[in-house]
Amino acid sequence: KTTLSNKFRVSVLDRWVASSFAYQCRDESTTTAMLWGDLFLHTVESSLPGLTFYLDVPYDLGQQRIALRQGADRADRFEKERKDFFDGVATRFHQVLNVYHANGAEVIVLNGDNPKELVFKDCEEDLIRYLTKTYLPTSVGEVVPKTGP
């Protein structure tokens, strides 16, 4: 049975495999990276995101924003980590995003130094461009995946 849900499928997630790997895989050994690579390829390869946004925020600015948002004394477990932890998180995010890109996914790095209004604008423009490029309207109210080059 053909339904709209299997003609046009878009999922918007705020975290996915990249976050799990970046935050939970602190062991930098080759063995760990290979295990995660194998796990990734065997479990989610068929459902790689077509588009991923990565908000790149420098550590010091992130800490300032946390303090302004909720006060340093109310930061969660991850927000209390030291800079070296976040440097490792960023490195692991880039490893996964490189895998995404190498497998045909589009990765957009957003400048986290920018005010949130500009980040939202950049994100919106890139999302519209991606959806316009990926999906073609066939009639009013119907959208189907684009086929061919």
Q: What is the pLDDT of residues 34-85, one digit of tens each?
A: 666 666 666 665 677 888 999 999 999 988 888 887 765 677 888 888 999 9
- What pLDDT shows up at residue 7? 53
Encoded tokens for 22: 């970046």
Residue from 49, 68, 66 nearest 58 by CA = 66
> Which pLDDT belongs to residue 4?
46
Task: Quote the percentage of the chain above a pLDDT of 70.
Answer: 66
Give the single-character DSSP code of 79. Answer: T
Radius of gyration of the chain (CA): 18
Tell me the average pLDDT of the chain. 77
Query: Which residues contact residue 25 at a Cβ distance below 8 angstroms, ignoring those fewer than 6 apart?
Result: 32, 33, 36, 92
Model-wide pTM > 0.85: no
Confidence of residue 87 (pLDDT cuts 50, 70, 90): very high
Question: Distance (Å, rounded) from C-alpha 109 to C-alpha 93?
Answer: 11
Query: Which residues sit opposite 136 in a β-bridge?
Result: 144
Q: Tokens at residue 85, please?
A: 């932890």
